Structure 1
Amino acid sequence: MMKKYILPVFLAVLMGFSSCSEDFLTVQPTASQEAGGTATEGAILSNLGSAYKVLLFDSYADFNYNSVPLLSDLRSDDIFKGGGDAGDQRPLYLLSQFNVNPNETPAGLWNIYYSGLSRCNNVLEACDNAVGVDEAKLNQFRAEARFLRAYYVHWLWKFWGNIPYFEQDLPAPYFARQFTADEVYNEIIDDVNFAIEGDKLPMQTTAANDGRATKAAAMMLKARIVMYQKDQSKYAEVLADMEAIHASGAFELVDFASIWDREGEFGPGSIFEANHLPEGKDWGAAWTGYGTNLPAFISPNGLNGADNLSGEDFYKGGWGFGPVRPDLVGIYEEGDERLAASINQFSEGTYTPRFQDTGYFMAKYAARKEYNDAPYGQDLNFENNVRIFRYAETLLNAAELMVIHGVAPAGSLTAQECLDLVRTRAGVDPIAATAENIKLERRREFVGEGMRFWDLVRWGDTNLLTESIPAYSSERTWNDDMKYLAIPQSEIDKTEGEFKLVQNKGYN
């Protein structure tokens, strides 16, 4: 089956509303919108398409290799940094060692997600100035924009906590008030609640609209932010959302290995994905194109085409970053089908070992043959979709809320049923739905998807992050100030007066 080479239909249609001299996903609104003028449906959709496109930027974020799953996992106990040496992409090594500083921090993510915030604001302004647009459509467009705004801001909130926030165009000199992390949380909650309430969004899309926001995606985002905030007052709401997703019948667990190839994109186990296409990005154009660099980044260097130890022969080489820690293999039980689909091991001599090499590599987003036919910038243009929310997370969220946080179920779904469903699909026997087992199951299920670090922080299990492993050049000590990264010094230097950014605690 060939990769779907068009964006979701609603984006492709935008070409009919755009000047032929402009990319239809351009960040720039029309001149009339800049002046606060009226907006047609086409103008709103043009802005909305621009807001969605930010989902495709994070693997080469403003000329930085800042893939969110990778940057999240680098601070976990699942992978090492890898690459050529400690100085190869040095900020990533510092990140993995809890040693970032204001001048070496993932500034690419800061820039793209603020671009996302601004683009979503443009959509909402256009909706406010709409003419001749059906109210139901406007509510849908607003809900999509507010979901996307919440998604982009929630990453800024998770990585930096205390950040500037704004919902309208900023007047010169373009400064905004710095919110506390708790204030930002409240703003995100308002956005996701708007997207969830009523029937503005469907629970699941039709195939023609794959990649667009849904009520289920908004519910999953709310679960992540509420559980990370440890906001017990909203746990019952989140559990009810998880039960609603399950009861809808719109999603199901599928063969685990099938999720990660092109045929598995937008499958019944997927709730929200970033739809990457093998085209458009180039080394000097970090704000264009549709592909992802993550597969090249995490695949073994100099792979000579030999089968991996599971017998597959469809992987290709890359740069050797993100080697999997050796002890991670041991968390899987015999017969667990997730092991081979999550972790690759290649025979000695079939690739070139690099810094912190362990012999194990992440498999879900690994570089695959024939997944990249871009005429230029090939390492930036793999087509592997990033699976942002999956149905398995719905079930494991529900199990955790019931068992670890003591939330009473509102329906017939039980924690044991949730855990059994996930494990049966993985080919392993049922086990008791205890707190320890639910935590371990999340780790097995989400290797390489950027979940582990955030789970450890919200569970208070950060003692697992302090380590001394000289053989792998990893010496790090966790303290609670490290929950948030250093705000980029370049951003602080741009501000002044009452809007002067205050650096996060521990980085002055």
Structure 2
Amino acid sequence: MMKNKYIKCTIAIVAMMQIFVSCKKDFLELTPRGTALEDNFYKNETEVMQGVISVYDVMQWGTTGGYTMKMPLLSAASDDNWAGGSNASDQPNWVAYDNFNMDPRIGPQGGLWNKNFSGINRANLILSKIEGATTLSAPFKARVTAEAKFLRAYFYFDLVRWFGRVPLITAVLPTAELYTQKQSTPAQIYAQIEKDLREAYPNLPATISSAEKGRISQGAAKAQLGKVLLYQNDNTKLAEAITLFEDVNKVGNAYGFSLVPVYADIFNPANKFNSESILEIPHSNNAAWGDWGWINGGEGNVGTQFIGMDSYNGDTYSSGWGFCPVTLDLVNVMKTDPRFDATIIDGAALKAGGATYNARYQNTDYFIKKYAPLKAFRSASGVAEQNWPINEIEIRLADTYLMQAEALVKANQNPTRAKELLDAVRGRVGLASIPATLDNIYNERRLELATEGHRFFDLVRTGTAVTVLGPVGFRANKSELLPIPQTEIDITKGIITQNPGYN
């Protein structure tokens, strides 16, 4: 029974040196699929594009070193959701993050470290191949270089937020240097992220064709850079962030972004890459995957399976595994909000209508709706649990509206524009105008983006994590970061050192 399945792997920096050419994305299927020797590959634009796709592919991964799907895992770490599952031993890494009882060997850190460094290594490798290629057209070379730099920045942004000090690697490492990489400071990591994104966005297209949905646009890169600047809590970076967000958010922007009129439609799997979506990770059942030993080889979203109601029997939804039940705290703050019905499934109401499901660990009878398993989208090929074709929207326009409003208030700039942005988010769901204060903006972020994986890092960066999460185990100057995987410390013979509080 897959609810208790553990996927184990060795998580050393050496794992970063692997790259696969058999990776897939909706915007390009590889023909023929397979592998090729690296030295004989990347000789033309088709082969280089396959290498770029292999970097994109890592964004989909959710089962490296255990189940570490980004969106539900971060929701479980926040006050939006509990860990759930069959019991506290079902996924102990999730439970440890839920109650901030991680140690160097228990917690989600191994999979997250391995995933992101795998993506970085792939980006470094394809950048080296692009640089050495002599048959690429100038426009093609500029675009794929920009994509690889964006993706390297994307993976490092996750690493610096989760771990703080990590090795900064921007080239393919010789074997002799694999275990000698020291950690860089967060400031050094952020400087590289900013550099990559600033170099990337001028060479990315404003819009993405229907055949290439899932590739990065200039607007996505600008939004990501604005987010990176805002999240550093450095007021000297606010002016640039505001300019970037305004370019993305203004009416008639060059990227085609606009708020979806009906809130629930944002999360309809039939409405992929809608006008509100800025950065979206595609998933499909095209691979008809069925290998539990290497779920990352498929294209499906196993996170959807995780959050569904266990053994559910009723209308609309398909059965899941009962992870991430919604906290009563979130239910109580949202129960009078117009976004409640699009955000949270009321299990008790379903039971009253004749449905059944199993109450699992930390059950509250409330479940995530935004990315829930829907019968209409259950795969008829491969193993259905591995093949949910439900995308993850990582950045959307309402998020950038609220980030710009926050930056404007912090910078003491243009209060009229800040209020306009906040009011637009609220007005979409029929809520009245309110003052654009930081407290109101932060509260709006929780309600608007609930269960989408933003809340934990919002609490950390705004300095409210101890107040909100302290009662469930969060400790200042420790729980903001995950422990460094013990395997990395061991294999480097202590060159990589542990984060504070985990020794």
TM over 0.5: yes
Match of 1:286 among 254, 270, 295: 295
Shift of 1:167: 1.6
Are 1:56 and 2:64 an aligned pair? no
CA–CA separation in structure 2 for the residues paired with 1:56 and 1:164: 23
CA–CA separation in structure 1 for the residues paired with 2:130 and 2:469: 48
Q: Which residue of 2 aligns with 1:309?
A: none
Shift of 1:257: 0.7
Q: Which secondary structure state, in structure 2, belongs to the residue aligned with residue 284 of structure 1? A: helix
Q: Which residue of 2 aligns with 1:427?
A: 430
Q: Which residue of 1 aligns with 2:398?
A: 392
Shift of 1:124: 0.7
Relative to structure 1, is the Cα distance of residues 246 and 228 closer, same or farther in structure 2, using a 3 angstrom cutoff? closer
CA–CA separation in structure 1 for the residues paired with 2:365 and 2:64: 28
Q: Which residue of 1 aligns with 2:238?
A: 235
Shift of 1:374: 5.0
2:304 touches 2:390 (CA, 8 Å); kept in 1?
yes
What whole-Å deviation, never above 9, does each CA across 1:141-189 have from its counterpart, x for those lacking one?
Answer: 1110000111111111111111122122211242323212221111111
1:75 touches 1:96 (CA, 8 Å); kept in 2?
yes
Counterpart code for 2:378: N
What whole-Å deviation, never above 9, does each CA across 1:349-392 have from its counterpart, x for those lacking one?
Answer: 72111111111111111111132325333212211100011011
Relative to structure 1, is the Cα distance of residues 281 and 53 closer, same or farther in structure 2, using a 3 angstrom cutoff? farther
Q: Which secondary structure state, in structure 2, belongs to the residue aligned with residue 115 of structure 1? A: helix
2:235 touches 2:411 (CA, 8 Å); kept in 1?
no
Match of 2:72 among 63, 70, 73: 70
Relative to structure 1, is the Cα distance of residues 55 and 374 closer, same or farther in structure 2, using a 3 angstrom cutoff? farther
Match of 2:322 among 305, 320, 323: 320
Please show how residues 438-449 of structure 1 align to structure 2 within 5 Å. 438-449=441-452
Shift of 1:262: 2.0
Q: Which residue of 1 aligns with 2:6?
A: none
CA–CA separation in structure 2 for the residues paired with 1:467 and 1:237: 34
User: Percent identity over the alignment?
Assistant: 34
1:257 touches 1:337 (CA, 8 Å); kept in 2?
no
Match of 1:460 among 434, 458, 463: 463
Counterpart code for 1:389: I
Counterpart code for 1:485: L
Please show how residues 24-63 of structure 1 align to structure 2 within 5 Å. 30-32=38-40, 39-58=43-62, 60-62=63-65
1:374 touches 1:381 (CA, 8 Å); kept in 2?
no
Relative to structure 1, is the Cα distance of residues 455 and 263 closer, same or farther in structure 2, using a 3 angstrom cutoff? same
Are 1:488 and 2:489 an aligned pair? no
Counterpart code for 1:390: R
Please show how residues 349-368 of structure 1 align to structure 2 within 5 Å. 350-368=356-374
Relative to structure 1, is the Cα distance of residues 285 and 251 closer, same or farther in structure 2, using a 3 angstrom cutoff? same
Q: Which residue of 2 aligns with 1:214?
A: 217
5+ unaligned residues in a row in structure 1: which ranges?
1-5, 306-312, 469-474
Q: Which secondary structure state, in structure 2, belongs to the residue aligned with residue 422 of structure 1? A: helix
Shift of 1:453: 0.9
CA–CA separation in structure 1 for the residues paired with 2:383 and 2:484: 30
Tell me whether 268-277 or 223-232 shows the greater mean CA deviation: 223-232
Relative to structure 1, is the Cα distance of residues 7 and 94 closer, same or farther in structure 2, using a 3 angstrom cutoff? closer
Q: Which secondary structure state, in structure 2, belongs to the residue aligned with residue 337 of structure 1? A: coil
Q: Which residue of 2 aligns with 1:471?
A: none
Q: Which residue of 2 aligns with 1:342?
A: 343
1:102 touches 1:507 (CA, 8 Å); kept in 2?
yes
Shift of 1:433: 1.5
1:296 touches 1:367 (CA, 8 Å); kept in 2?
yes
- TM-score by structure 1 length? 0.87
Q: Which residue of 2 aligns with 1:296?
A: 305
Are 1:113 and 2:116 an aligned pair? yes
Counterpart code for 1:507: Y
Q: Which residue of 1 aligns with 2:200?
A: 195
Q: Which secondary structure state, in structure 2, belongs to the residue aligned with residue 478 of structure 1? A: coil
Shift of 1:226: 1.8
Shift of 1:320: 0.7
- TM-score by structure 2 length? 0.88
Shift of 1:332: 3.0
5+ unaligned residues in a row in structure 2: which ranges?
1-23
CA–CA separation in structure 1 for the residues paired with 2:93 and 2:335: 35
What whole-Å deviation, never above 9, does each CA across 1:431-467 have from its counterpart, x for those lacking one?
Answer: 2222221111000011111101111111111233345
1:120 touches 1:145 (CA, 8 Å); kept in 2?
yes
1:69 touches 1:450 (CA, 8 Å); kept in 2?
yes
Relative to structure 1, is the Cα distance of residues 282 and 377 closer, same or farther in structure 2, using a 3 angstrom cutoff? farther
Q: Which secondary structure state, in structure 1, belongs to the residue aligned with residue 310 of structure 2? A: coil
CA–CA separation in structure 2 for the residues paired with 1:122 and 1:47: 9
Q: What RMSD in Å do the two structures reach over aligned CA positions? A: 2.0
Relative to structure 1, is the Cα distance of residues 333 and 436 closer, same or farther in structure 2, using a 3 angstrom cutoff? farther
CA–CA separation in structure 2 for the residues paired with 1:111 and 1:407: 40
Q: Which secondary structure state, in structure 1, belongs to the residue aligned with residue 294 of structure 2? A: coil
CA–CA separation in structure 2 for the residues paired with 1:362 and 1:427: 22
CA–CA separation in structure 2 for the residues paired with 1:155 and 1:374: 34
Q: Which residue of 2 aligns with 1:507?
A: 502
